[in-house]
Chain A
Amino acid sequence: MALPKLREFITPADAQGVLNALRNYQDRALIVAGGTFLHGLESRGLLTHVEALIDIQRLGLDYLESGKDGLKLGATALFADLETMPEIRNDPWLGAIKDALVFPPVQVKNAATIGGSVAASCPFFDVPISFMCLDGVVKCRGSSGMRDIPMQEFFTGLFANAMENGEFMVELAIPRPRTRSASAFMKVETNANDLAILNAAVRIDVDESGTCSDARVIAGGGVGETPIRLSDAEQVLVRQRLTPEICARAGLSAKGSVNPISDHRASAAYRSEMTRVMVNRALRQALDRLRQ
């Protein structure tokens, strides 16, 4: 990897050490967690200015906690550890995370971190949109303290997010749903080492009468510079008794709301059609989980 200006590899023992290093180097510092996306950034010419790498793996942020309010996932917890949490494996409301974690190869799961997957702000990743459909909240730390950024406001552009210079992510919080809820994730890809052509993550909440009280429909993977929340598709679901026909209508609505890119992986037309198919299938999967 060519980092022509790199001078220093810093391994702080605590959060203050990270903040100091970020202050000293300003935007010439780059945080490293699992390191699995640095090639991706470097090959796009985005790291030529980097003078210091700051390793955040010794801060004790690799915890995975589950409590009555929901999950607290430390920024440096690994995909491989998240995958083995009993709740992730078994609970319908967390189905989207379980589905998304099927895709990365073992070597990536053993290194990639929750914080790195989110902070990379790459619209083609899978795991972050599974967090997004669960209303995940990014907790970040800066010199003036802690700040919460809802995931739906986190991504601001290609490889860009709402964290300020000098801030870094310490945790992802996922609120526990108050009603019966299920989520699911689906993806179209070429092979295990390639980025998504298209992906979709959905969540449905239902009240005691079985009516949908709230829903999330998120699409990513080339639908835009960031993953997108498709509110129109959500509105097709809310206040309805969910049936396969309603899921299909939401898929059609999702297709109508995206304006995808064409690239070497797929055309815009194919991505549009796959938005319909994947949203529909993910909703059907979530519906099946709700009935379990």
Chain B
Amino acid sequence: MKQIVPLHINGDIHEVAIEPGATLLRVLREHLGLIGTKRGCDSGGCGCCTVHLDGKAVYSCMTFALQVAGRKITTIEGLSPDGRLNRLQDAFVEAGAVQCGYCTCGMIMAAQQLLDVTQTPTEEEIRRAIAGNLCRCTGYHKIVAAIKLASAP
């Protein structure tokens, strides 16, 4: 039985008819066309589906859409509402932290939460913050460099 619920995403409210078992990831990509959030493992192992729920990074593939009705959801699209990249996104470009790009949106969402609470994180804190995100291309060095760049005073 589908339920129609309001989802608060990137400042907009979407009324969506949702099947009981649908994950937030599926609703974002298939119902709302917000395909910046990527589907990798679909089972909590890779991090590329990371979004913010009330400002905290979560795996959208492990979140039931019906559980988050009414709560504040931010996706990668929400970091650049006027079409201009934010500081962290710019730093990823500048540091060359993107190769195939599949992990990038999730990495940025995980790193953004860190920067939201810690202005100048240590390398250890950066590596912990992205420990739930896999990258198969970069070897992580440039990703860590990008996050440092974005947090430099």
Contacts and interface: CB of A to CB of B under 8 A. Distances in A.
B26 to A, nearest CB: 9
Contacts, number: 82
10 contacts: A1-B21, A39-B44, A39-B62, A53-B21, A53-B64, A110-B53, A110-B56, A111-B62, A192-B132, A193-B45
A36 B132 CA distance: 13
B20 interface: yes
Nearest to A7: B1
Contacts of A53: 20-21, 64
B20 A36 contact: no
Interface of B: 1, 3, 20-21, 23, 42-47, 50, 53, 56-59, 61-64, 66-67, 110, 113-114, 128-129, 131-134
B56 A80 contact: yes
A8 B3 CA distance: 9
B44 A6 contact: no
The 8 closest A-B pairs by CB, nearest first: A105-B132, A9-B20, A192-B131, A110-B56, A39-B43, A9-B66, A6-B21, A3-B21
Interface in A46-63: 53, 55, 57
A282 to B, nearest CB: 21
A137 to B, nearest CB: 28
Interface string A31-73: 0101110110001000000000101010000000000000000
Interface string A2-16: 010011110100000
Contacts of B56: 80, 110
Given A43-B43, A106-B132, A111 B66 contact: no
B64 A55 contact: yes
A147 B23 CA distance: 33
B66 to A, nearest CB: 5
Contact of A193 (B50, B67, B134): B134
Nearest to A104: B132
Contacts of B66: 9, 11, 55
Interface string A90-112: 00000000000000011110110
B20 A110 contact: no
A105 B131 contact: yes
Interface SS majority for chain A: loop
Contact of B44 (A3, A8, A110, A193): A193
A170 to B, nearest CB: 19
Contact of B64 (A35, A107, A108): A35
Given A53-B21, A55-B67, A8 B1 contact: yes
A6 B134 contact: no
A57 B66 CA distance: 11
Q: Quick one: which of B20, B47, B113 has the most chain A CB within 10 A?
A: B20
Contact of A36 (B46, B62, B131): B62
Nearest to A193: B45
Contacts of B57: 106-107, 110
A32 B67 contact: yes
Contact of B132 (A3, A35, A80, A193): A193
Given A8-B20, A193-B132, 6 more contacts: A9-B3, A9-B20, A36-B62, A38-B62, A53-B21, A193-B45
A36 B44 contact: yes
Contacts of A11: 66-67
A143 B134 CA distance: 44
B139 to A, nearest CB: 15
Contact of B58 (A3, A55, A111): A111
Contacts of A107: 44, 47, 50, 57-59, 110, 132
A111 B63 contact: yes
Nearest to B45: A193
